[in-house]
Homo-oligomer: A and B are copies of this chain.
């Protein structure tokens, strides 16, 4: 199977689409596909061949952020006990959610979350498993449960109360 080199213009088009989408998302939380195509200077067809769904585009836009979030889980586990690591990781998620609301939108129920190997779910699983071994976090909690609970971060009103609500959630996941 011969490796086929993608045309140079195709490569730059794809990169420009992602860059433009990222910029559009800094001003508003909406992302009209036609607006992305126009701002990127490509036809709608080009946009859709690169990213068949908006979820796919969002996943690409926030890939770097998600990678950082996922990578921070083992780092925190190396420096703290599992319960503290989990609590700190939740704060990381909240910080990302505050700055870039779209991260959560991409995360929940989309390509990222529904994919076979959702990296975020993997990070949560790791933290939960450590807490279970330690005996500080409830053994009957799955990554799915945590993802559902974190969904509140995507609501606009969440910003002010995020920290407090995370405390309540964390309190609920600890063993009594």
Seen from chain A, the residues whose Cβ lies within 8 Å of a Cβ on chain B are 108-109, 138, 140-141, 144-145, 148-149, 151-152, 155-158, 161, 164-165, 168-173, 176
Contacts and interface: CB of A to CB of B under 8 A. Distances in A.
Contact of A172 (B144, B157, B158, B172): B172
Query: What is the count of identical protomers in the complex?
Result: 2
Interface of A is mostly: helix
Contacts of A168: 138, 141, 145, 149, 169, 172-173
Given A109-B157, A171-B172, A172-B173, A165 B145 contact: yes
A169 B151 CA distance: 13
Contacts of A171: 138, 171-173, 176
